[in-house]
Amino acid sequence: MIDSPPTKPLLPPPQFQSNGLETRIQSPEEQTPARSSLSKNLQRTLTAQQQAEESLNHRQAELQRLQSQITQQQTKQEELAHTVNHLTQQREKLDSDLNYLQTQVQELEQYRGSLTQFFATAEPKRRQVETGSQALQDAIAQLQNQITSLHGELNQLEGQILDRRTEKEQLDAQLSALKDQQRQLDPLPSTIAPEPKVVTSRTVPKPRRSPKTPQIGGEWMDLMRAMTGSEFNALKAIAIEENPGPTLKRLSEENLTMPELLIDAINERALDTIGDIILEPGPDTGVSIIAQEYRDQVATLISTYGV
């Protein structure tokens, strides 16, 4: 026996139809695909929700990792600041020791000169008295022993000065390296509020000119921060003075170094900041001059921060 076809659903009268929407009564056969589609949509929604939760967990883990890195960097910054302060104190103590040793050397030099003069005066008398004057010979021998002893003390003090100078140069190099590390550690990720920067022992002086003075680039500001007061004064002397030799000699003696080493230190700091040297040998006198391509920037730097 053949089943009769399903009865066609009844449509509402036309007066109940509005804007193309129809009210339709679905048969059980037509409801099955709808349930299947609804189940698929629900499954897709659950899958998307799981993926969103996994992505959220991943983002939270990444945020925790970044926060841990930032905490480590801040700890390292504090350690570096403590080390810088400790090395600065050591350098100040070495400077004090060097000044004391220099005073001692000057006094010994004067004493040696006096003894040498006295020895030169006593030598003719020794020849006059001849070898029979044992007392005079003993006095001369004693003076010679004193001179020999003073020579030994002087050599020892000169060796100590060289040692202190070497230690000071090493401390300056360590301080420069630590300050470079501080500048590298200062920037923090943009997602976290920045922490206060560590205050270094040397700050750039405020400009003494009006705001109309031409501005200089950030790398020149870095160079200004990196240079010591003696190095800045040396650069100023080379840029302004007609014969900067005496000024460079005075600055180098005050810092227990030589003019050539002072100029090399300025060029090394320029290489680290602007990527090039700014001092080069002069064509005639041999005294260093400002490189032609950087004269305007150096003039602006000196006119802005020079005293």
Q: Which CATH number do you get for residue 73?
A: 1.10.287
Q: Give the range among 60-74, 92-106, 147-161, 256-270 with minimum mean pLDDT.
A: 147-161
Pair (93, 176) in one structural domain: yes
Q: What is the number of domains present in the chain?
A: 2
**Predicted pLDDT at 159:** 75
> What contacts 265, CB < 8 A, 6 or more positions away?
231
Whether 105 and 222 share a structural domain: no
- Of 185, 202, 235, which residue sits at a domain end? 185
Give 195-229 pLDDT, tens digit per residue. 333 333 344 444 444 433 445 678 999 999 999 99
> Is residue 43 one of the residues assigned to a domain?
no
pLDDT digits (tens, 9 = 90+) for 128-139: 766 676 777 787
Higher pLDDT pick, 50 / 142: 50
CATH of the domain at 289: 1.10.10
249 lies in which domain range?
A: 218-305
Q: Are residues 247 and 158 in the same domain?
A: no
User: What confidence score (pLDDT) does residue 117 get?
Assistant: 83
**Model pLDDT, residue 189:** 39
Q: What is the pLDDT of residue 293?
A: 93
Q: Which of 185, 207, 235 is the last residue of a domain?
A: 185
Answer yes or no: do 117 and 174 share one domain: yes
Q: Tokens 């449509």 appear where? A: 11
User: What pTM value is reported for the model?
Assistant: 0.35
Whether residue 8 lies inside any domain: the answer is no
The full 3-state SS of the chain, as one line of letters, equals CCCCCCCCCCCCCHHHCECCECCCCCCHHHHHHHHHHHHHHHHHHHHHHHHHHHHHHHHHHHHHHHHHHHHHHHHHHHHHHHHHHHHHHHHHHHHHHHHHHHHHHHHHHHHHHHHHHHHHHHHHHHHHHHHHCHHHHHHHHHHHHHHHHHHHHHHHHHHHHHHHHHHHHHHHHHHHHHHHHHHHHCCCCCCCCCCCCCCCCCCCCCCCCCCCCCCCCHHHHHHHHHCCHHHHHHHHHHHHCCCCHHHHHHHHHHCCCCHHHHHHHHHHHHHHHCCCCCEEECCCCCCEEECHHHHHHHHHHHHHHCC
Residue 104 CA to residue 232 CA, distance in Å, equals: 30
C-alpha 151/C-alpha 159 separation (Å) is 12
Residues 170 and 251 in one domain: no
User: pLDDT value at position 306?
Assistant: 66
Domain boundary among the residues 165, 185, 205 is at: 185
